[in-house]
Amino acid sequence: MAILPISAFACVVPMGGKEFDKLIQVEKIAKNTFYLKVAKNAKGLNFGADINVVYNKNDNQNYADSYIRTLKITEDSDYYISTFKLQKIDGYSPRVEVF
């Protein structure tokens, strides 16, 4: 017999919306290199965050046709922070997802 919390069966969905998106800052710092900050006070991020770069086929948003890269993040007292490079993948467009 195993005891698991109900949340173990939860589906994780990226956060979003106009107010949430205002708490994310992305700055290009070099060719294909970006600096990203996500405010820790964003709804749902009080206890940590996962940040992915997702490359979707240009013609749909189906995850089965996606490349997903989890970013390494650091944190200070107010932000989750990452510096990352984007790759050019023909036929795919990148986006950032925050969980």
Q: Which domains does the chain have, with CATH numbers?
A: 14-98 (2.60.40)
Give residue 57's pLDDT band: very low, low, confident or very high (50, 70, 90). confident
**Whole-number pLDDT of residue 61:** 64
The mean per-residue pLDDT over the stretch 13-26 comes to 80
Checking if the pLDDT of 45 tops 50, the result is: yes
Q: Which residue has the higher pLDDT, 36 or 18?
A: 36
**Whole-number pLDDT of residue 69:** 93
Checking if the pLDDT of 8 tops 50, the result is: no
**Whole-number pLDDT of residue 3:** 55
The mean per-residue pLDDT over the stretch 13-19 comes to 72
Direct distance between the N- and C-terminal alpha carbons of the chain, in angstroms, rounded to an integer: 31
Checking if the pLDDT of 48 tops 90, the result is: no
Q: Are 94 and 55 in contact (CB under 8 A)?
A: yes
Checking if the pLDDT of 71 tops 50, the result is: yes
- Average confidence score pLDDT of the chain: 83
Sheet-wide strand order for 33-39: 24-30, 33-39, 79-85, 74-75
93 has which bridge partners?
A: 56
